[in-house]
């Protein structure tokens, strides 16, 4: 593996977090993130630096994991010799189709969500991303870490991901960079780089509220825990925008808070997001 791979992954993650902050947190800690991104970029050798800057102009996703010999950005199945190169070479490897940088990492948490069979009706709206089995109308958790754990475990139990423990670790590392809590008691803890299926989320409700962000006075009551394939990062911002818009309305939040079974919570979510998540 090229010695700068982890550095590049970190740089991409920070750039994506900066885009999230710009869209939803009104510049909260943006200067800090700008400085970190500039710092990480400056630490690259000149040739990698110019490559990265060139790639970033085209798309925010510059480096993606290879899973089962497939580029997770464009779906290209790589020739066996290339797969081996990505695994062992100390040179940077690119996908021959989408030209993004590729890396291989053993033991990444995976999304086990199965692609729908042809005979099944195509899912629409929010049903593309979640299910009634991923709803927790009454979170037992009273802390941020426990809420993330409870939702990750639910996702594993329902057969959507293979390793809740790894997801919790990755999600809390992400929270440590900058909290994913937004206004109106919403939070969107998430893990990027969960490949193998589509973007998937679980929803947990806490009527008492949970302290998600040390800087904020308000408590979080509605928690969306989201696993995101790297290539869906831009799309994730759209989903986030739709959910944040829906639940900026007090009526919509109230409708979620009052449901007491996973099925009813799911039904309410589907109904409330009909217009915002097409
Ligand atoms: Zn590709």
Q: pLDDT for 87-102, tens place per residue?
A: 999 899 999 999 999 9
Note the pLDDT tens digit of each residue in 27-86.
Answer: 778 899 999 999 999 999 999 999 999 999 999 999 999 999 999 999 999 999 999 999
Mean pLDDT of 213-238: 90
Confidence of residue 121 (pLDDT cuts 50, 70, 90): confident
Percentage of the chain beyond pLDDT 90 is 79
Q: In angstroms, rounded to a whole number, what is the distance separating the alpha carbons of residues 126 and 131? A: 9
Q: Residue 99 is encoded by which pair of tokens?
A: 């030209």
- 116 pLDDT exceeds 60? no
Q: How many CB atoms lie within 10 A of CB 230?
A: 21
Question: How far, in Å, from the CA of 237 to the mean position of ligand 1?
Answer: 21
Note the pLDDT tens digit of each residue in 243-261.
Answer: 999 999 999 999 999 999 9
Question: How far, in Å, from the CA of 176 to the mean position of ligand 1?
Answer: 30
Question: How far, in Å, from the CA of 262 to the mean position of ligand 1?
Answer: 38
Confidence of residue 273 (pLDDT cuts 50, 70, 90): very high
Question: How far, in Å, from the CA of 156 to the mean position of ligand 1?
Answer: 28
pLDDT of residue 97: 95
Residue 188, CA distances (Å) to 77, 117, 128, 236 in order: 32, 30, 18, 11
Mention every residue, 6+ apart, whose C-beta is less than 8 A from residue 86.
66, 78, 93, 102, 103, 104
- 117 pLDDT exceeds 80? no
Question: How far, in Å, from the CA of 77 to the mean position of ligand 1?
Answer: 9
Question: How far, in Å, from the CA of 85 to the mean position of ligand 1?
Answer: 15
Question: How far, in Å, from the CA of 206 to the mean position of ligand 1?
Answer: 40
Question: How far, in Å, from the CA of 95 to the mean position of ligand 1?
Answer: 5
Question: How far, in Å, from the CA of 2 to the mean position of ligand 1?
Answer: 18
Question: How far, in Å, from the CA of 78 to the mean position of ligand 1?
Answer: 9
Q: In angstroms, rounded to a whole number, what is the distance separating the alpha carbons of residues 177 and 186? A: 18
Beta bridge partners of 220: 210
Question: How far, in Å, from the CA of 65 to the mean position of ligand 1?
Answer: 10
pLDDT of residue 224: 98
Question: How far, in Å, from the CA of 20 to the mean position of ligand 1?
Answer: 24
Note the pLDDT tens digit of each residue in 162-217.
Answer: 999 999 999 999 999 999 999 899 999 999 999 988 999 999 999 999 999 887 77
Question: How far, in Å, from the CA of 51 to the mean position of ligand 1?
Answer: 16
Question: How far, in Å, from the CA of 260 to the mean position of ligand 1?
Answer: 44
Confidence of residue 22 (pLDDT cuts 50, 70, 90): confident
Mean pLDDT of 140-167: 96
Question: How far, in Å, from the CA of 127 to the mean position of ligand 1?
Answer: 27
Percentage of the chain beyond pLDDT 70 is 97
């Amino acid at each position: 593996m090229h010695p700068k791979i982890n550095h590049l992954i970190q740089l991409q993650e920070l750039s994506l977090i900066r885009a999230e902050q710009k869209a939803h947190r009104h510049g909260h800690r943006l200067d800090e993130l700008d400085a970190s991104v500039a710092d990480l970029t400056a630490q690259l050798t000149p040739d990698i630096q110019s490559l990265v800057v060139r790639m970033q102009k085209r798309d925010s996703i510059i480096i993606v994991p290879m899973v089962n010999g497939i580029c997770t950005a464009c779906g290209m199945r790589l020739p066996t010799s290339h797969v081996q190169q990505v695994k062992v070479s100390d040179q940077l490897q690119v996908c021959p189709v989408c030209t993004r940088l590729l890396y291989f990492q053993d033991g990444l948490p995976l999304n086990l969500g199965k692609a729908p069979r042809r005979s099944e009706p195509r899912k629409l709206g929010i049903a593309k991303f979640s299910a009634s089995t991923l709803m927790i109308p009454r979170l037992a958790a009273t802390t941020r870490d426990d809420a993330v754990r409870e939702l990750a475990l639910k996702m594993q139990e329902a057969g959507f991901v293979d390793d809740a423990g790894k997801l919790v670790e990755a999600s809390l590392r992400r929270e440590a960079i900058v909290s994913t809590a937004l206004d109106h008691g919403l939070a969107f803890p998430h893990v990027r780089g969960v490949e193998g299926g589509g973007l998937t989320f679980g929803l947990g409700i806490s009527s008492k509220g949970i302290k998600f962000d040390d800087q904020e006075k308000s408590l979080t009551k509605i928690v969306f825990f989201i696993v995101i394939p790297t290539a869906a990062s831009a799309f994730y911002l759209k989903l986030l925008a739709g959910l944040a818009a829906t639940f900026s309305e007090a009526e919509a939040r109230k409708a979620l808070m009052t449901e007491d079974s996973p099925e009813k919570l799911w039904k309410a979510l589907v109904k409330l997001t009909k217009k915002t998540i097409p």
